[in-house]
Amino acid sequence: MNVNKELCMLCQTCAAVCPSGAIEVTEMDIILTKCTPCGLCARACPMGALYE
């Protein structure tokens, strides 16, 4: 999973739904080694900022 940092408003919704703890929102990084990728964060993001 990747993040478009121009769209991300750091709301933390994606980190809350990630079952793998793969998202750290302070600088909006996704830890790719932990990402399955299940797609839950992309569906939860209100800004459409997450993409595969």
Residues lying near ligand SF4 in the complex (CB under 6 A): 1, 3, 8-14, 17-18, 20, 22-23, 25, 28, 30, 35-41, 44-45, 47, 49-50
- Give me the least distance between CB of 49 and ligand SF4, in Å please: 4
| Least distance between ligand SF4 and beta carbon 17 (Å) | 6
| 3: region left, alpha or beta (phi > 0 left; psi from -120 to 50 alpha) | beta
Q: What is the dihedral of CA 38, 23, 17, 1, to 10 degrees?
A: -30
Q: Are strands 29-30 and 50-51 parallel, antiparallel or unpaired?
A: unpaired
Q: How far is the CB of 48 from ligand SF4 (least distance, A)?
A: 8
